Amino acid sequence: MVKKIALLGASGSIGQSTLQVVREQSRRMQISIACAHRNSKALFDLAAEFKVPAVIVTDDQLKASLTDVPAGTKVYFGESELLRILKGTEYDLALNAISGSAGLTTTMAVLETGKTLALANKESLVMAGHLVKVLQARHGSKIIPVDSEHSAIFQAIGSHPAKEIARVHITASGGAFRTLPLRDFNKITVEQALKHPNWDMGAKVTLDSATMFNKALEVMEAHWLFDLDWDQVSAVIHPQSVIHSLVEFIDGSLLAQMSVPDMKLPILYALSYPERHHSRLVKTDLAKLATLTFEEIDPQRYPLFYLGVEAGRRGGLLPTVANAANEAALRLFREKKIGFNGIGELVRQAVETEENVANPDLETILSSNRTTYERVISAWQ
């Protein structure tokens, strides 16, 4: 059977890696829907190559200016059209690789159809994990993780029941500044922060790796994806990024999933699940790996990791507040209005001042996301 895929965030880093997977696996997979926010060039190029019948440009201000639409492709504009098409069109699986909080509404739309969601957009679970669980239960939809750590955990758990899992250990590279002296943190430039030592990723997740806020988001993601208590999710620095995470079982055994760091592997697994397909895309030469090491996460170097996990534990609106403040702070950092240490300070201020609401509905979450973001930005105008 050929799997029909809706590729959301097709122009981004995960989107483009997904295209490499589909190119190799073209007898088994095809793209039937694709979207991007503004990068219509990438969208139309892939529509022409993969003969995609429907594409959506979610920034509808581009409507008037677009040309070069490939023959055989219909173009739609705006987020509401994307949600309508996701709910009303035939496909087998949607891969959500939209970056940041913008991916939440698409996650909800796919889950409402009962279809399978391959999820790269961790922010959906961070902001609305409790609502995602309700939708999954109501519509019987399945989530297959794409994030490499969660793909590793998903693979290592296999068919073991929850009662046999003691905890999971999420690995972290430590990002761009693992060994930089703390006294030099106030001199970090945007260009330095955008260089990841191991992974080739989009800008936001690369910056989040440098602060390790990304790992806090991933602790929350694991809590929701695998129904784990907070004390069952731990994180450890593993600078080589070869062990993508580990599951510790109640008998003391640890199962890890390994490969050289390349997102094409977790993407391929999510798209081929429950099968495994033959592929030449990612090969690991064990003899070349030399050493695998592990370190604790230093709270002085990575305050945003601890702040983020604490927001996750407290729950309600706080994960949304922390995430929105972080998105705003990253924008200010990239615009060179604040320094690297300022990112953590702005997130801390937002978490300490914004009001928390227990068990928020979608509207409250989206509104808090918007207002927190705007408040952090406007304080610097």
DSSP conformational letter for 2? P
Report how far residue 151's alpha carbon sits from residue 287's, in angstroms, rounded to the nearest whole number.
24
User: If binding is defined by CB under 6 A, does position 15 make contact with ligand NDP?
Assistant: yes
What is the H or E stretch that residue 32 is in? strand 29-36
User: Helices 362-378 and 318-334 meet at what angle, rounded to 10?
Assistant: 30
Residues 256, 236: contact at Cβ < 8 Å?
no
User: If binding is defined by CB under 5 A, does position 147 make contact with Mg ion?
Assistant: yes
Closest CA to 91 of 119, 114, 62, 66: 114
User: If binding is defined by CB under 5 A, does position 123 make contact with Mg ion?
Assistant: no
| Residue whose CB is less far from ligand NDP, 41 or 187 | 41
Site for ligand NDP in 77-136 (CB under 6 A): 97-99, 102-103, 120-123
Member of 6, 11, 210, 304 binding ligand NDP (CB under 6 A): 11
Site track for ligand NDP across 186-205, x = CB under 6 A: -------------x-xxxxx
| Residue whose CB is less far from ligand NDP, 218 or 354 | 218
| Residue whose CB is less far from Mg ion, 153 or 165 | 153
User: If binding is defined by CB under 5 A, does position 262 make contact with Mg ion?
Assistant: no
What minimum distance in Å lies between the beta carbon of 334 and ligand NDP? 12
| Residue whose CB is less far from ligand NDP, 58 or 141 | 58
Q: What is each CA distance from 350 to 106, 244, 373, 379, in whole angstroms?
A: 26, 31, 9, 11
Report how far residue 304's alpha carbon sits from residue 118's, in angstroms, rounded to the nearest whole number.
27
Q: Is the peptide bond before 70 cis (omega within 30 degrees of 0)?
A: no
37 binds, among ligand NDP, Mg ion, none (CB under 5 to 8 A by kind): ligand NDP
The Cβ-side half-sphere exposure at 214, using a 13 Å CA radius, reads 30
The footprint of ligand NDP on this chain (CB under 6 A) covers a number of residues equal to 29
The Cβ-side half-sphere exposure at 65, using a 13 Å CA radius, reads 9
DSSP conformational letter for 238? -
Q: Tokens representing 302?
A: 């990575």
What minimum distance in Å lies between the beta carbon of 123 and ligand NDP? 6
Q: Tokens representing 210?
A: 């440098």
Site track for ligand NDP across 32-61, x = CB under 6 A: ----xxxx------------------x---
CA 181 to chain CA mean position, Å? 29
User: If binding is defined by CB under 5 A, does position 327 make contact with Mg ion?
Assistant: no
CB closest to ligand NDP, residue no: 12
| Residue whose CB is less far from ligand NDP, 38 or 187 | 38
Q: Where does this chain bind Mg ion (CB under 5 A)?
A: 147-149
Q: Where does this chain bind ligand NDP (CB under 6 A)?
A: 9-15, 36-39, 58, 97-99, 102-103, 120-123, 147, 199, 201-205, 263
